[in-house]
Amino acid sequence: MAATLETVAKKAGVSVSAVSKALRGRSNIGEATKRKIDQVARQLRYRPNASARALASGRTETIGVVIRELNYLSDSYFGTILSGIAKVSDQNDMGLIFGRSLPEKRQEPEFLRMAMEARVDGMIIIDQVIPKKHLSRLADMRFPVVLVDQQIPGLSLPVVRINYQKVARQAASHLIGLGHRRIAVFSGVQGKYKFRAEIEGVKEAFGRGGLGFDETLLVTGEDGFMYAGAYQHVERMLRTAEPPTAFLTFTNGATAAVHHYARLAGLRVPEDISIAGFYSGGPEMTDIRPDFQVPTHEAGVRSCQLVMDLVAGQVSTSEIVLEASFDPRNGCGRSAGL
Amino acid sequence: MAATLETVAKKAGVSVSAVSKALRGRSNIGEATKRKIDQVARQLRYRPNASARALASGRTETIGVVIRELNYLSDSYFGTILSGIAKVSDQNDMGLIFGRSLPEKRQEPEFLRMAMEARVDGMIIIDQVIPKKHLSRLADMRFPVVLVDQQIPGLSLPVVRINYQKVARQAASHLIGLGHRRIAVFSGVQGKYKFRAEIEGVKEAFGRGGLGFDETLLVTGEDGFMYAGAYQHVERMLRTAEPPTAFLTFTNGATAAVHHYARLAGLRVPEDISIAGFYSGGPEMTDIRPDFQVPTHEAGVRSCQLVMDLVAGQVSTSEIVLEASFDPRNGCGRSAGL
DNA sequence: TTGAAAGCGTTACCAC
DNA sequence: GTGGTAACGCTTTCAA
């Protein structure tokens, strides 16, 4: 059916290897024959067979992206990381395939198969809750892997991570400096590096400010799904005897929800309540100007560059830490009416 | 590095073909040798090379899923279709890879490459706005393809689609029957089959009820991103001189948004406003009981089964139409206080 | 039941 | 420049 190198070679009256070279733009081929070959190939709609190419060359020209579940891609946290990855992989003509990290019915998680069956040349792992033992397997194989936003002691895999702790500390300190004493904190999934770092940063600031950490003012949940739920929590909190005067939100969804709630409830920001909001880009916040800028896109770019260096055999930096910025201008520019 | 069939064969003292058969559970192999081979393979951590296997067998054991952009997966419309696909593909030990349908910098969209380079055995196309010319290419190649929720005249590709038109007509008729005259309609992206079918159904009902279709009461937008935006529209509409008394929402996001808005604004449903809401499952509506049940998961299941039949060479039904159900019980159970 | 050998469609090396 | 020809790691006849 489909044209092969041989088909093209025969029709063009040249050898298979000539066609192979010509079509891949190698220099050791005559100008005239190349033209002829190109023409025949186009006419026959020739396409190289990906499996054959991978088998012969040892490279799949594909990198794997590992996330927990596929619908996590919806979250703009993942979405913007991904757009960074896609940008770099496109530039380098590398394909992208996605693997779920959950084990499902097989013993082995899908991403381990991707590596062991040589379906990809390298991979980027964005899921933050993969058991260390699985990650170690990859390290043992010396398979090119880059972890994003993870911090696992005793594991020697390259990492690209964002310094959430510092920016969280800055934001919390700022709110405290404005006089806030009751600050609600919305973060993501407990146990993840991102969550741990954020809470750590907040606690540092609270400690310095002489504040205790009030668990009743902490809201957690799946990053991508916090918008709807956040409404209820804001409403509930504001009805208590001692309502929070400021909100510190570490997910896009929560940031958007708190801002939207305030607007709907007629609360002025920051006169009535302060909002220090996380922002990683994405479609849900076109109408909001948050105070954090979190370089998730950049994290994607860097992780993809890193994994491609690894694939090319170039040893690279093993840990890249990206700084987020906090610029109190929109949601918490001045002191709330305390 | 990695173990191959030959490595295993040598160590087990048998032939390469014996190992191949044993590991794939073929029956023409001795019980004892099989045990021996299994043991050696496990010890060596042998994994078949995917490219080699695909090249030799002619099958990649992978099917491609085509969507417009990767972050569309976030939408529970896609998400639930996908869960149906994943369920069936998992059962049949088929891998899944995702392709974007947008052309990007290359002339050819990624999904055409997937087919022409034989990266997948078949594919399911969920994007509804792919130019017919590209789809025709696949049809010409006789490549196993199934379209989901599409209706393209003059194209002979198998389709699985949901009958949005009928359920839209039912819902609109019901609202009209309750006495509503001003009904706001929230649908998805203009031009898509889903949108066209829904509007068509609504117009039929409006026509029968002697109502005109008021464009100012129509809200459109990206399916997955309608939650946040919907708030503003509801608010705006309810402030007009002649506000709508009912809402007919065809995306999960809009349904959730209208319900949440009503709750927050202190509007009783259905006493103050009626809401006829679309629901395809998904995480954002745990607190809402909508009136539509749309079999998107089922559509995923059926499309995957269909594509696998096609791959296996079994000719199958070329069009499967799934019915959605409308059960006025929650959001529009009784007449609004007109 | 077992094994030898011929592909599968490329790439890459090595003569010419 | 160009063309033969071994790999690449697997599946699949076909004999034994």
Q: Is the CB of A168 under 7 A from strand D?
A: no
| Banded model confidence at residue A338, pLDDT cuts 50, 70, 90 | very low
Give the number of beta-carbon pairs within 8 Å between A and B.
115
| Banded model confidence at residue A336, pLDDT cuts 50, 70, 90 | very low
- Of the candidate ranges B6-15, B135-144, B261-270, the one whose mean pLDDT is the lowest: B261-270
Query: Taking CB atoms and an 8 Å limit, are A55 and B51 in contact across chains?
Result: yes
Beta bridge partners of A160: A148, A320
Would you state the pLDDT for residue A172? 96
DSSP annotation of B71 reads G
A 10 A CB-CB count for A162 gives 24
Amino acid at residue number A16: V
Q: Is the CB of A268 under 7 A from strand C?
A: no
Q: Does residue B331 or residue A191 have the better pLDDT?
A: A191
- Of the candidate ranges A196-205, B139-148, B226-235, B327-336, the one whose mean pLDDT is the lowest: B327-336
| Banded model confidence at residue A171, pLDDT cuts 50, 70, 90 | very high
Query: Taking CB atoms and an 8 Å limit, are A55 and B55 in contact across chains?
Result: yes
Q: Which of B47, B224, B227 sits opposite A116 (nearest CB)?
A: B47
Mean pLDDT of chain A: 88
Q: Is the CB of B33 under 7 A from strand C?
A: yes
Would you state the pLDDT for residue A337? 46
CA distance A167 to A28: 54
Name the closest residue on chain B to residue A111, using Cα atoms. Answer: B95
| Banded model confidence at residue A281, pLDDT cuts 50, 70, 90 | low
Contacting residues of B for A113, CB less than 8 Å apart: 47
Mean pLDDT of B141-157: 93
Contacting residues of A for B80, CB less than 8 Å apart: none
Query: Taking CB atoms and an 8 Å limit, are B76 and A71 in contact across chains?
Result: yes
Would you state the pLDDT for residue B224? 55
Would you state the pLDDT for residue B162? 96
Contacting residues of A for B71, CB less than 8 Å apart: 73-74, 76, 79, 82
Q: What is the pLDDT of residues B263-318, one digit of tens each?
A: 777 888 888 888 988 876 655 555 666 778 899 999 999 999 999 999 999 877 78
Contacting residues of A for B90, CB less than 8 Å apart: 104-105
Percent with pLDDT over 70 in chain B? 89
Q: What is the pLDDT of residues A48-66, one digit of tens each?
A: 999 999 999 999 999 999 9
Look up tokens 């400690």; give the residue: A207
| Banded model confidence at residue B338, pLDDT cuts 50, 70, 90 | very low
Q: First-to-last CA distance in chain B?
A: 76
Query: Distance (Å) from CA A18 to C1' C15?
Result: 15
Q: Is the CB of A34 under 7 A from strand D?
A: yes
